[in-house]
Homo-oligomer: A and B are copies of this chain.
């Protein structure tokens, strides 16, 4: 099996995400994956190059190396290994340098910049808001929310709210639509003043059943009939009240959160 490395002088999350997305274009190929963050000095870069060479010898085929290493010296230590280096950084840095007619900062100038306290606070505030307002636990600050997610149990409300807070700094509450709320196309009382902030999640009955079964196997809650009924009834409620909604069945948390931000026109912060 061929080895794949994801290298960075920071978290390596970008190298990993872009690398996975590129490799996914080739369908069912399998790789042995190694993520190495914080490659930020010569010794580490040399030891990473050695690790790549060992993998090449062991696999009998050269490893693929996705790198966002910013430092040119460290980059070239890795480039001299036997791996195929896909440098996700320098090609673009050179183009930007020409276009902006500016020099990139020297090593160290950017790597130790302080995290902005105000940004940190606004993000923490969004996270605390999501935690306090999870699952309808507390509804009295809904006027201060950017968004209130609604949906039946296990339709993905909690992770979406947390992701909206962590990734985009959005204050999102969530409120569960239970069986008692369904059937009459009437919104729970706590939600009525905030129709404009509501956003619905839905999913396929099959997927809901599979997720609920993992949680409570054999229960009425996880039965095909119950899942089918709740999905159909909650979608009817959304339509009756003109509430925008999204089917989350084939979507990751990242995709659900991004779609919601796009459709609602909320301000997307980046951290």
Residues of A within 8 A of B (CB): 10-14, 16-18, 20-27, 29, 35, 37-38, 64, 68, 70, 84, 86, 88-89, 91-93, 95-97, 99-100, 102-105, 109-110, 112-115, 117, 120-121, 123-124, 127-128, 131, 134, 158-159, 162-163, 166-167, 207, 210-211, 214, 249-255, 257-259, 262, 268, 270-271
Do B250 and A112 touch across chains, with their CB atoms under 8 A apart?
yes
Number of copies: 2
CB distance from A154 to the nearest CB of B (A): 9
Closest Cβ–Cβ distance, residue A108 to chain B (whole Å): 12
Asked, given contacts A102-B26, A163-B166, A253-B123, whether A95 binds B88 with beta carbons under 8 Å apart, the answer is no
With a cutoff of 8 Å between Cβ atoms, the chain B residues found around residue A109 in the complex are 27
How many Å lie between the Cα of A21 and that of B13 in the bound state?
12
Q: Sample 14 A-B pairs with CB under 8 A, ordered by A number.
A: A13-B258, A17-B270, A18-B92, A20-B270, A25-B70, A25-B104, A26-B96, A26-B97, A26-B100, A38-B259, A86-B96, A88-B92, A91-B91, A117-B214
A96-B255 contact, Cβ under 8 Å, with A13-B17, A117-B210: no
CA–CA, A99 and B14, complex, Å? 22
- Closest Cβ–Cβ distance, residue A13 to chain B (whole Å): 6
Interface of A is mostly: helix
Question: Which residue of chain B has the shortest Cβ distance to A255 in the bound complex?
Answer: B11
Shortest beta-carbon distance from A128 to chain B in Å = 8
Residue of B nearest to A66 (CB): B92
Q: With A159-B124, A162-B127, A255-B11 as given contacts, are A117 and B207 in contact (CB-CB < 8 Å)?
A: yes
Distance in Å from the Cβ of A249 to the closest Cβ of chain B?
8
| Contact yes or no, A250 B92, CB < 8 A | no
Cα distance, A247 to B258, chains bound together (Å): 32
**Within the assembled complex, what's the spacing in Å between the Cα atoms of A259 and B89?**
22
A253: which of B70, B249, B271 is its contact (CB, 8 Å)? B271
Q: A24 → chain B, closest Cβ, in Å?
A: 6
